Amino acid sequence: MKEKIIEVSKGLLVNCLDLKEQESFLVIADDEKKEIGECLYLAGKELGAEAMLMIMGERNHSGEEPPLAVAAAMLQADAVICATKHSLTHTQARKAAAAAGSRIATMPGITEDMFLEGAISADYSKIKTITEKITKLLTDKSTVTIVKAGCSLTFDIKGRSGIPSTGMYVNKGESGNLPSGEAYIAPVEGSAHGKITVDGSIAGIGLLTSPLILTIHEGRLVEAEGDQGQELLEMLGTGEGRLLGEFGIGTNEKARVTGVVLEDEKVYGTIHIAFGSNMTFGGTVFAGVHIDCVVMQPQVFLDDLLLMENGELLAE
């Protein structure tokens, strides 16, 4: 198993990060993902990079900053992979390292199974084409409306830029998830009104036992009805963590809904919203938490354009 993961990792490092001999390559892992981190480190070493491995304590939730020593090391590396339980994607440390020129792939919740099946095995050149097209639509449009199971949520995106997470981070300063395949954007703060049915999974909770109905007023989550609603509210806290921070669209046809949001939010035919920090991708919310919620096969409008119908992207 370890040898197989190392071989898959070598392919990822070459194809997705364009890792070269003698480049400085930093792997960040936590206690839970230590073994995967070691495989990535060995893969980088075998490719001739100046590989390094840092193990840190687990963060309490996605969006929490890593230790200062880890953040400092990220600034100095040519390429970085973060294999951790909770996401470092929406942290100031990741943003600063990318601004300094590091190529960064974050892998929150990565599992050994993901290395061998599912989203990792996708055709990333195809994903790049689809993702960039959806990203342009997000940038060009003004309003998003999501309809699902009798609920409707509307929010503004005018003036915000879509972000492509293509899985290919080969130029200085490029970063995103691996496995990947999503286009996302920061909604205008305070603009969201309505209800949304979340029936896939939630970061930090996993697969839902039953759908949640989330009520959002003036951009803020005010009610979460359902078996795991209280758990979501507690994770977000009572402050800015309850503000709507992200809207994303999955574009990876190989991805599966498994309860690990890293893969779930990339599934073709799903969308996700997130509450909490979005300062790292064009918003103004800094909450120290970022929790994604996956919705299966909704209907999605961008202004008057029907983008998605029952999970089928109509504007590829």
Domain ranges of the chain: 2-116, 121-313
Q: Which fold has domain 2-116?
A: Thermophilic metalloprotease-like (3.40.1830)
Q: What pLDDT shows up at residue 59?
A: 95
pLDDT band at 124; cut points 50, 70, 90: confident
Q: Is residue 246 helix, strand or coil?
A: strand
Q: What pLDDT shows up at residue 1?
A: 84
Check pLDDT > 90 for residue 115: no
Over the stretch 167-217, which tens digit does the pLDDT of each residue have?
999 999 999 999 999 999 999 999 999 999 999 999 999 999 999 999 999
Mean pLDDT on 162-168: 93
Q: What pLDDT shows up at residue 110?
A: 93
Q: Is residue 114 helix, strand or coil?
A: helix
Count Cβ atoms within 10 A of the Cβ of residue 311 and give its class: 0-12 exposed, 13-18 middle, 19 or more buried: middle
Residue 292 neighbours by CB distance under 10 Å: 28
CA–CA separation, 107 vs 277, rounded Å? Answer: 18
Structure token digits, residue 30? 């936590």
Check pLDDT > 90 for residue 130: yes
Structure token digits, residue 88? 């470092």
Over the stretch 257-279, which tens digit does the pLDDT of each residue have?
999 999 999 999 999 999 999 99
Mean pLDDT on 294-307: 97
Q: What pLDDT shows up at residue 316?
A: 62
Check pLDDT > 90 for residue 29: yes
Provide the whole-model pTM.
0.84
